[in-house]
């Protein structure tokens, strides 16, 4: 996908898996982006239909 063509707020999703196989997902809103890297971000909860 080409991000420049998609409407909406940009966020990053990180998936972490522990040695026990337990997976966790972290959602972060990208607040300040420089050179394609998130310099400032904020974790969030995402619920379908909520912005």
pLDDT tens per residue, range 16-47 = 999 999 998 888 888 888 887 888 888 877 65
Q: Is 17 left (phi over 0), alpha (psi -120 to 50) or beta?
A: beta
Across 1-51, the runs of DSSP E, i.e. the strands, are: 11-17, 23-34, 37-44
Claim: this prediction has a pTM higher than 0.75: no
Indicate the domain borders of the chain: 3-44
Query: Is the CB of residue 14 less than 8 Å from the CB of residue 4?
Result: no
- More confidently predicted of 19 and 48: 19
Handedness of CA 40, 27, 12, 48 (dihedral sign): negative
């Amino acid at each position: 996908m080409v991000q420049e063509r998609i409407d909406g707020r940009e966020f990053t999703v990180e998936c972490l898996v522990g040695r026990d196989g337990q997976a966790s997902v972290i959602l972060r809103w990208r607040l300040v982006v420089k050179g394609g890297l998130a310099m400032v971000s904020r974790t969030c909860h995402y619920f379908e239909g909520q912005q």
